[in-house]
Amino acid sequence: MNYHIVTYGCQMNLHESEKIAGILREKGYDRESPPEDADIIVFNTCCIRENAENHAFGNIGALKQLKRQKKGLLIAVGGCMVQEEGKAKLLKEKFPFIDILFGTHNLAELGELIEKKRAQRRTVVSVPEARDRLEDGIVPVRTSYPNAWVNIMYGCNNFCSYCIVPYVRGREKSRRMGDILSEVRSLVEEGYKEITLLGQNVNSYRDESGADFPALLAAVASVEGDFRVRFMTSHPKDFSAELVAVMKKHKKICKHLHLPVQSGSNRILSLMNRRYTREKYLGEIALLKREIPDCEVTTDIIVGFPTETEEEFRETLSLVEEADISSAFMFIFSPRTGTKAAAMEGQIEESVAKERLSRLIELVNGKTREKSAKYVGKTVEILCEDRDEKKGLYLGRDEYGRMGYFESPENRVGDFVRLKVTRANGISLYGEVENL
């Protein structure tokens, strides 16, 4: 039997879809296929911004026809959007053809829900309030060789005022350091070359034995083998000198920090409940660049937060310059029902927010181009990930996440190659391989 999974949202979701595939394989769905040939279609949804939800709604609705034509086809919808208050009910009413609805806390239960659905006509709905089982026992079907994602913690306690994540993913829960290390060791033995440690807020990792994130990161980077380590996402309020020291000491750790700032204005940061100031953020970047001069910083920024003035928006622009940001994910504030910010007075008009976003994008893209251009003539290490058939080139990423393209007569996927950069274009580098 065949399966098809549609994933929305962040790397956490992408990795959870790999776990979903693992569960489906156990249930006899042994091949991935296009939706038309699938016996089960699973949607793994996101609700961080409104457009993520709209996409999912549209695509689920479009399956009505297929479901009618194909007897026995199962449709399951899970993840963050289903976990939102009232959404499972709404989905069930709007799309009565959905067979299974499951939340973020019971992914490990999906196999049992499939069994249950096979035995009954009614939609199976299971959206528990909190996580009862960790997902440690599931063997994921990894889809991103040579990269492997590893969860180190689940949930978030921060309640940034715009963010729905704490409501749909629950409180922070860290996995045991020993379990994480054995997962990393076996991935490295299997030949994975890049390990990405995942958590909503990795800096507040703490396991039962008291190990914190710098300790975990150092231990992961000390695993023997030829691989590199990344982590995301960090929160500026939990940033520490120990983290910088560990990044500096271990060669295997990418000299890249993704540190979401969200805004450059102290008043907006306080309304966002971010619990740091512009000055603290800039101080952290200064420390990082002093200790590790070739380190690069990327960030997330929200424009058009309720009551944001033109002046305050310009503080965000100047922070991008001062913090020497290499690139950023940039968003227009999207009110999420149930969060504090959604109920705030002073919501910003869409046209104003759009205009701010385009100015910000222009500035950040300029910075990105400027940084990439500096690599022309230099040699960078690229982990080859794939082949771009259209371009007829292999591609991979440097430690900062910049894409590098090159020609090669041989398949280099999974190899670290030294790329002599001859040309830069936006976030991409082009060049010749020195170690062919």
Q: How many residues are there in the chain?
A: 436
**Residue span binding ligand 5AD (CB under 6 A) among the ranges 311-319, 333-341, 348-356, 379-387:** 333-341
Beta bridge partners of 330: 301
Angle (deg, nearest 10), helices 213-221 and 241-249: 0
Instruction: Report if residue 238 touches ligand 5AD, rule: CB under 6 A.
Output: no
Q: Is 155 in the site for ligand 5AD (CB under 6 A)?
A: no
Binding region for ligand 5AD (CB under 6 A) out of 19-27, 329-337, 349-357, 397-405: 329-337
Amino acid at 194: E
Tokens of 109: 């239960």
Q: Which does 123 bind (CB under 5 to 8 A by kind): ligand SF4, ligand 5AD, none?
A: none
Nearest distance from C-beta of residue 81 to ligand SF4, angstroms? 15
- Closer by beta carbon to ligand SF4, 35 or else 103: 103
Which of ligand 5AD, ligand SF4, none interacts with 220 (beta carbon under 5 to 8 A by kind)?
A: none
In the complex, the smallest distance separating the C-beta of residue 233 from ligand SF4, rounded to whole angstroms, is 7
Under 8 Å between Cβ of 45 and 82: yes
Q: How many residues make contact with ligand SF4 (CB under 6 A)?
A: 10
Task: State whether residue 315 is helix, strand or coil.
Answer: helix
Total number of residues binding ligand 5AD (CB under 6 A)?
12
Residue whose CB is less far from ligand 5AD, 106 or 233? 233
How large is the angle between the packed helices 177-190 and 213-221, nearest 10 degrees?
A: 30
Using rule CB under 6 A, residue 200 touches ligand SF4: yes
Q: Which residues of 318-331 are buried (b: 16+ CB within 10 A; e: fewer)?
A: ebbeebebbbbebb
The encoded tokens of residue 23 equal 């569960």
CA distance 183 to 189: 10
Residue 48: exposure state from Cβ atoms within 10 A (0-12, 13-18, ≥19):
buried
Q: Identify whether the C-beta of residue 239 lies closer than 8 Å to the C-beta of residue 232.
A: no
Per-residue binding string, ligand 5AD, 4-43, x by CB under 6 A, is: ----------------------------------------
Q: According to the binding rule CB under 6 A, does residue 339 interact with ligand SF4?
A: no
Residue 274 in the binding site for ligand 5AD (CB under 6 A): no
Q: How far is the CB of 200 from ligand 5AD (least distance, A)?
A: 9
Residue 48 touching ligand 5AD (CB under 6 A) = yes
CA distances to 79, 150, 203, 292 from 212, rounded to whole Å, are 28, 16, 8, 21
Contact 233, 122 (CB under 8 A): no
The residue type of 73 is L
Q: Which sign does the torsion angle of CA 110, 112, 117, 118 carry?
A: positive
Nearer to ligand SF4, 232 or 244 (CB): 232
**Closer Cβ to ligand SF4, 200 or 368, answer by number:** 200
Site residues for ligand SF4, 203-242, by CB under 6 A, read 235
Which range binds ligand 5AD by CB under 6 A, 36-44, 235-243, 316-324, 328-336?
Answer: 328-336
Report which DSSP code applies to 348.
Answer: P
Pick 54 or 157: Cβ nearer ligand SF4: 157
Compute the distance between CA of residue 193 and CA of residue 362 in angstroms, rounded to an integer.
34
- Residues 114-173 binding ligand SF4 (CB under 6 A) are 156, 158-160, 163, 165-166
49 near ligand 5AD, judged by CB under 6 A: yes
Sequence letter at residue 100: I
Q: By CB under 6 A, name the binding residues for ligand 5AD.
A: 48-49, 162-163, 260, 262, 300, 302, 331, 333-334, 336
Q: By CB under 6 A, name the binding residues for ligand SF4.
A: 156, 158-160, 163, 165-166, 200-201, 235
